Structure 1
Amino acid sequence: MRANEETEEQELSMTVTIRPADKRDVEALAELIEEIERFYGSTDIQPLEERRTQVEEALFGSPPLASALVVEDAAGELAGLAAYSFLWPAAGSSHSLFLKELYVRDTLRRQGVGSRLMNELRALAAARPGCSRVEWMTDRDNPHARAFYRTLGFTEFDGKIVYRVDAGAV
C-alpha cells in the first residue's frame, strides 16, 4: 500500500466510532444481523421482532450471554459489529476472548475499520485479568476474511476441528 493510500484509509476509518453496544442499539443490531445473514447467503430470515428479543436477551439479559462492540458511521448509523464472549478455561486456568462475529458493512470495508475492531478486541482482552488470548474462526471457503486476518499478521491454526449439533437434536 502506498503512503497516500494508507493516510486516506486512516482518515476514512476516523469518521467512525467504535463503542460498546448499549440498549439503544437493539433495533439497529437486529437489522444489522439480517444484513449479516443475507451476506452469508441465508434466505430463511428470522422475523425482526424475534431478532430484537434475542439481541436484547443476549447482550443485556441477566446474565448477558455475549458482548458487542459496534461501529457507528459518521451519520450515527450502525455499520458493523464485533460480537464476543469470554470463555473459560483457555490455557491452564486462564480464559480467552472469543470473537463470534466480525462484520463491517460493505460501504466501510477496506478503510481500516475491521483493523480497528480487532485492535479494540485485543485491548479488551489485555485489560481483563486472566485473559490469555483472543480466538476466532472463519470458514475455509471465505478467502476475503482469511486474507484480511493475514494482512493483520495473524496465522491460521489447523489444530481444531469444529463440531456442531442443533440444540433440538440433543
Structure 2
Amino acid sequence: MRIDQATEHDAEAIARLIGEIEAYYGGPDSPADPAEIRERLFGRRPVATVLLARDGDRVLGMASFSLLWPAASADASLYLKELFVREPARRQGVATALMEHVRDAASAAGCARVEWTADRDNPTAAAFYTALGAQPHNGKTFYRLEQDL
C-alpha cells in the first residue's frame, strides 16, 4: 500500500469515492462531477488537499483536509474533513496509515494540531480515534449555514 497526494489525474477516482461516501451516509451512490473535483482541488483556488491510499492501481481510501487559521493564538491547524476507506479495505491498517500521513502533513505545514468531527452515532469511528490517542472535545458546538449558490 502507498499513500500519496492526489493529482488532477485522480479526479475520476475521487468522484467515485465521493459517491461512495454519500451512500455510506445514507444518500445515493452517485459519483460527483470530475470536472467539479478538478476545479475544487486543482483549480486556481484549491479548497482542500486529498491523500489517496492505493494498492497498485486500486484506490483503497482517502483523507481530505484543509488548513485553518487561527487555531490557538496565531497557530494554524489542519482540519480533517473526510477519512474514508472502502469496505473491502477496512480493518487492514489503511485508515491508520492515512492518519499518519495527515499528521505528517500537519507537521510539514507547521500546524499545532489536527482537528475533525465525527458522527455521534458511529462508535466504530469513535473507537478508532480513541485508539489513535485522540479525545473528544466537548467545548464546541458545530453550526452550519447553508448558502445559495
Taking structure 1 as the reference length, the TM-score comes to: 0.83
For 2:79, the aligned partner's letter is F
Residues 1:142 and 2:127 are matched in the alignment: no
- Partners of 1:87 and 1:53 in 2: CA distance: 25
Q: How does 1:43-82 map to 2 (within 5 A)?
A: 43=28, 48=31, 51-74=33-56, 76-82=57-63
- Partners of 2:60 and 2:26 in 1: CA distance: 19
Q: Greater CA radius of gyration, 1 or 2?
A: 1
- Partners of 2:33 and 2:77 in 1: CA distance: 27
| Contact residue 60 and residue 94 of structure 2 kept, 8 A | no
Q: CA deviation at 1:59?
A: 0.9
Q: After the TM superposition, which segments of 4 or more aligned residues of structure 1 sit over 2 Å from their partners?
A: none
Q: CA RMSD in A?
A: 1.5
For 1:112, the aligned partner's letter is G
User: Which of residues 131, 139, 146 in structure 2 aligns to 1:151?
Assistant: 131
List gaps (5 residues or longer) in structure 1: 1-15
Q: Which residue of 2 aligns with 1:104?
A: 85
Taking structure 2 as the reference length, the TM-score comes to: 0.94
Q: CA deviation at 1:152?
A: 1.4
- Partners of 1:167 and 1:82 in 2: CA distance: 25
Q: Identify, as 1 or 2, the structure richer in strand.
A: 2
Count residues with an aligned counterpart: 149
Q: Which residue of 2 aligns with 1:30?
A: 15
Q: Percent identity?
A: 45
Q: Any idea what SS the aligned residue of 2:45 has? A: coil
User: Which of residues 124, 141, 148 in structure 2 aligns to 1:161?
Assistant: 141
